[in-house]
Copies of this chain bind each other. A is one copy, B any other.
Amino acid sequence: MKVRIVTIGDEILFGQIVDSNSAFIAQQLNRIGLEVDEIISIHDRHTLIVESLQKLCPDSDLIIMTGGLGPTNDDLTKKALADFIGSEMEIDPSVLEELEKRLKKINLPMNGLNHDQALLPKKSSALHNPLGTAPGIWTEYNNCVIINLPGVPFEMKNLIKIEVIPRLQKKFDLPFVIHHFLAISNFPESQLAIAISDWENHLPENLHLAYLPERGKVKLRITGKDNDKIKLQKQIDTEVEKLIPLLGNHLDSSVSGATEEVLGSKLKEAGLTISTAESCTGGMIAHLITSVPGSSGWYKGSVVSYSTEIKESLLEIPKELIEKHTVVSEEVAAEMAKSAVRKLNTDLAVSTTGVAGPAKGEDGKEVGTVWIAVTDGNSVLTKNYFFPYLERDDFILQVSKLAMLKVIEFIKNHSKK
């Protein structure tokens, strides 16, 4: 089955926004056994949308398009869809009724442009959108299902859940897709590949291996697809069992997921709480940790001491210590973490102090310098890095991930409460 996602919008092609819609859609499709073959982003021009449908439709079973459904002149998707399938437009009375209710509720008058949002190609049907004025559109044309969704993320996500997924499951007979992840550390990608090449070459045809390198570690992903879920799971388990001995002590954990999820599960498992004292990461570690549902079970809070003044006042780092060692130093990082353990009353704390750039630090420290410290109030693990080539955003993210990895390392080495 061939599946394509088309995201429409100049802002994507100017690089003014990152297209996260397509990742969400791909994920949700994956859960019901649909693999996406291609994601395409195009400008919102009538001819480009028509051309794209002409090219893709004959070779696709499913096309999901987002964007270009708003009421203004640059939103041309609906007209392009109607022209492509050769259908007149007509008012959908149920959409119009909903629209009237919605506008009344927010005290807006109905005008010509809003009225036209209830216009749909005759051959299509509406996907009712309770969160916005533009309905989604479901069209079946020459054995291809074309689904149009608004580009506003929360409207699109809601429509995927309440309308698109149930309809697709009803329409298609779908296989199961299972992903299995293994995190490997201290095993360079090329050496790892050699060590497991024999195993990889003998994988069954419906299983596929991928290497996902991240700094300092590699994730292996085994992906399988089959109509029989139980058989598929067994098949994957068998292969993982064969693989594990080849990885020796490099196998980090069989937990999958992002660093913040792994950290969350480690803390939960060990029954430990944590707090953060962040300088150069400016709240990013707190944000990542609290992005995990249930994080209030292990996370209490953070002091983001962006200015030196706050390090002295709220964290009570002695002025003399800062003057002696400078603010970006092992000593200050350690004191920040210790102070967080005390002041936020947690089992562990992690701290960062560094220079994200683009300008040098107050004390002349080079852009890209950073110290990380982890402590339980007694032992302290410190580590410094230098990332002169990273952009500000990447530096902040990279240091935040490394800080969480250091906490995982600390828990491993001190695994008793």
Contacts and interface: CB of A to CB of B under 8 A. Distances in A.
Contact of A15 (B28, B43, B286): B28
A200 B222 CA distance: 52
A61 to B, nearest CB: 15
A190 interface: yes
Contacts of A141: none
Contacts of A393: 291
A15 B42 contact: no
B108 A188 contact: yes
Interface stretch (A70-78, A81-89, A234-242, A402-410): A70-78
A307 B301 CA distance: 7
Could you say how many copies of this chain the assembly holds?
2
A209 interface: yes
A36 interface: yes
Interface string A384-409: 00000111111010100000000000
A351 B302 CA distance: 14
Contacts of A206: none
Interface string A179-210: 10000000011111110010010000000111
Contacts of A303: 301-304, 314
Contact of A39 (B40, B282, B398): B40
Interface of A: 10-20, 22-30, 35-44, 70-75, 108, 111-114, 130-131, 152-154, 157-158, 179, 188-194, 197, 200, 208-213, 221, 223, 275-276, 278, 281-287, 289-291, 293-296, 299-307, 309-310, 313-314, 343-345, 356-359, 389-394, 396, 398
